[in-house]
Amino acid sequence: MKLPPLHATRLRRAARHHFGWRSLRPDQLTAMRALMRRRDALVVLPTGAGKSAVYQVPATLLPGPTVVISPLLALQQDQIGALNERNRPELRAVRISSAESAGQRTAALDEIRSGRARFLFTTPEQLNNPDRLAEVRGLRPALVAVDEAHCISAWGHDFRPDYLALGHLIRELGRPPVVALTATASPPVRDDIVDRLGLRKPRLVVSGLDRANLFLEVANCATEDYRWRRLLALLRADERPGIVYVPTRRAAEELAERLTSAGFPAQYYHGGMPAGAREELHEDFLADRVPIMVATSAFGMGIDKPNIRWVAHMALPDAPDSYLQEIGRAGRDGELARALLLWRAEDVGLRRYFTGGAPDPEELRDLAALLREGPTTRTALRERTGLGARKLGQLLALLEQVGAADTLPDNRLGSPRYAPKPADAATAALAEAERRQTVQRSRTDMMRAFAETRSCRGRALLAYFGERLARPCGHCDNCQAGLADTGTGAAAGRDTGAGRDRTGRADRQPFPVHSAVRHTEWGTGMVLGYEDDRMTVLFDEVGYKTLSVPVVSEQGLLVAADD
């Protein structure tokens, strides 16, 4: 397909004409140009960096409507409101979801058909309805945008079972170009997104994860009392509003009560609360009626609030993925904000507990046997097995991974023709679950390494995501204390292979960043980055490992994967 002339010029003109944006960031423009070429894209940009613009601007130039799939109605409503307040028919957005009546959903589809609306927002659950899917397919969408795309990944910090069928659903829509958008995705999450959505040689845009206005600070707390006093010091010194993340629902309730009693009015939020109460708290926080929100990780997605001044963690997060997402909610107005992690060694044991044990082999075997009986629906499987939606989704994902489950064109579930026997499928799925738990434990290890590092925290954090900083970040406690090495961090030196530095020592970067390597025991992996005399490698089977560069060089622990 021959490209229209001056794509970049057309995109900039559309951004200025329709949205009033005088310029586009290079990373936005890169992704937009891919979509204009009818190419898939995976876009990882921090919250507040203009991810929505990536699909909104091309949508004004493409010959058909854009379908936006998002997991949260509140997030959808914010985006719909921002588009419709411009009062331009070419930007009008409508929605079909559980929040609309049947008549409203019909009217929304009519607006798209007639050209009176350009954007159709919906949820994975709506597309799971075959009749609804057929109606949307009839609109002949020119683009599909999958927001919060990490939800499709079992490695993502907010896994949603309903997202698992999206790849099949998008194919049923006629397979228009797809752009997957998320604020944080490490390499395993990115690979999962590409695989499960069926993206075709997508243009990968990963940029800007370093937030210069966000000060990173970590304190190892010897006692719970010290952790409490450090939190109070933060509250006395910093403005409101802010978010305190805790690991459990009980901790959220107890800490909110304790803070309120200490003169710091706080509310709590967790996934066990009624939906109405959660929605009310969400609105109150956005409206500045809640100065301090104490919450589990269930709170935050869809919070587009510019003036959050700080985010505190009262325990070690499960992985850098969720940590970066959660601290990224502070300082979206570009003003100075603070991220404080208060952790104890005991937190690691709690995270190990949350990782859980192996799935029940009988549940896996019985589920595989049900799938072999013939095509069925998720609803029917929940009724026959008694499993909850989330657990069923996780077991189906494991069985799909080992070739024992498949999503059919009509969105029903079945068993592939050459699927293993139920008992064999359960055994293979258990092995896959064990591998995933090993990788998850390594992610927690990386979170602990971030907390313990005496070097630049910005470099340590971004190395996990495969992004390199040319110099120390300058906005963390270690940089402020003068501990960060300015000469040989994650990306300061050469990344072009082995050699000698000025002192005659072996090069501190024996393998290029992002190159494939192989270990005799751990198998193949990818070099993510360097920090001082350590290197981080993501292995396919065992997850993240931090290795001593001198030991790697002297003992030949790694070789290039193509050797």
Backbone angles phi, psi at 42, to 5 degrees: -120, 120
245 lies in a domain?
A: yes
- 3-state SS class at 320: helix
What is the domain range of residue 140? Answer: 7-206
Asked whether residue 268 falls in the same domain as residue 345, the answer is: yes
Give the closest residue to 209 by CA, choosing from 304, 315, 320, 310.
320
Residue 81's Cα: distance from chain center in Å?
A: 24
Which of 354, 374, 409 marks a domain boundary? 354
Asked whether residue 92 falls in the same domain as residue 157, the answer is: yes
In this predicted structure, the answer to whether residue 192 has a pLDDT above a threshold of 80 is yes
In this predicted structure, the answer to whether residue 29 has a pLDDT above a threshold of 90 is yes
Highest-confidence segment of 125-139, 333-347, 382-396: 333-347
Give the per-residue pLDDT at 90: 87
The residue-averaged pLDDT of 202-228 equals 93
331 lies in a domain?
A: yes
- 3-state SS class at 31: helix
443 lies in a domain?
A: no
Asked whether residue 407 falls in the same domain as residue 546, the answer is: no
Asked whether residue 222 falls in the same domain as residue 262, the answer is: yes
Helices (H), 417-517: 422-452, 457-464, 477-480
User: For residues 7 and 236, which has the higher predicted lDDT (pLDDT)?
Assistant: 236
124 lies in a domain?
A: yes
Asked whether residue 505 falls in the same domain as residue 552, the answer is: yes
pLDDT in tens, 360-402: 999 999 999 999 998 898 889 999 999 988 788 889 988 988 9
Give the per-residue pLDDT at 250: 95
Mean pLDDT, the chain, whole residue set: 87
Which two tokens mark 444?
């927690």
Asked whether residue 218 falls in the same domain as residue 123, the answer is: no
Contact assessment for residue 408 and residue 417, using Cβ atoms and an 8 Å cutoff: no
In this predicted structure, the answer to whether residue 163 has a pLDDT above a threshold of 60 is yes
Give the per-residue pLDDT at 493: 31
The pLDDT-based confidence of 257 (bands split at 50, 70, 90) is very high
Contact assessment for residue 367 and residue 419, using Cβ atoms and an 8 Å cutoff: no
Asked whether residue 245 falls in the same domain as residue 304, the answer is: yes
- Kindly tell me the sign of the dihedral angle through the C-alpha atoms of 6, 67, 414, 422: positive
468 lies in a domain?
A: no
Contact assessment for residue 303 and residue 235, using Cβ atoms and an 8 Å cutoff: no
The residue-averaged pLDDT of 516-540 equals 88
Asked whether residue 55 falls in the same domain as residue 190, the answer is: yes
Exposed/middle/buried for residue 204 (C-beta within 10 Å: 0-12, 13-18, 19+) = middle
Backbone angles phi, psi at 411, to 5 degrees: 75, 10
Task: Please report how the helices 422-452 and 389-401 are oriented relative to each other, as an axis angle in degrees rounded to 10.
Answer: 110
Asked whether residue 139 falls in the same domain as residue 246, the answer is: no
Which of 396, 417, 436 marks a domain boundary? 436
Domain count of the fold of the chain: 4
Q: What is the CATH number of the domain that holds 270?
A: 3.40.50.300
Asked whether residue 331 falls in the same domain as residue 373, the answer is: no
Asked whether residue 224 falls in the same domain as residue 343, the answer is: yes
d(CA 157, CA 160): 10
pLDDT in tens, 478-516: 999 987 764 333 333 323 333 334 333 445 789 988 888
453 lies in a domain?
A: no
d(CA 195, CA 198): 5
Give the per-residue pLDDT at 411: 73
Asked whether residue 190 falls in the same domain as residue 260, the answer is: no
463 lies in a domain?
A: no
- By mean pLDDT, which of 126-135, 139-148, 263-272, 504-513 is the weakest? 504-513
416 lies in a domain?
A: yes
Angle formed at CA 41 by CA 464 and CA 98, multiple of 5 degrees: 95
Which of 141, 176, 206 marks a domain boundary? 206
The residue-averaged pLDDT of 342-352 equals 87
Q: What is the CATH number of the domain that holds 423?
A: 1.10.10
